[in-house]
Amino acid sequence: MPTDDEDTRINQGIALDPDSPELTETDFLRAQEARQAVPSLANVRRVRGPQKAPTKTLVSMRLDPDLLARLKSDGPGWQSRANDILRQAVGL
């Protein structure tokens, strides 16, 4: 945590920055959703392009529901964690 002196200097720098003015209540009242402010971008779907050099092979396998639930319970990235577990199990 910054000291009181550091905090004061930080806030002074913020206040003097012309590229980042503090927003007022009026600014917030005038704010619009992005899809209203720039309608041409509202329905743009970004799609990931092809890999330059695929590093993994797509496979399909059947897993017990409780195993899959356990893998997914740690959140996003479960496929990579499963890959790491399999590598360790086969000694790679």
What is the pLDDT of the chain when averaged over all its residues?
A: 89
- CA proximity to 86, closest of 69, 71, 66: 71
pLDDT tens figures, 17-60: 989 888 899 999 999 988 888 888 777 777 778 878 878 888 99
In single-letter form, the type of residue at position 11 comes to: N
Q: Map 16-45 to HEC letters.
A: HCCCCCCCCHHHHHHCCCHHHHCHHHCCCC
Helix (H, G, I), strand (E, B) or coil at 89: helix
Q: Compute the distance between CA of residue 9 and CA of residue 2 in angstroms, rounded to an integer.
A: 10
Please state, as a whole number, how many other Cβ atoms lie within 10 Å of the Cβ of residue 79.
11
Answer whether residue 78 shows pLDDT above 90: yes
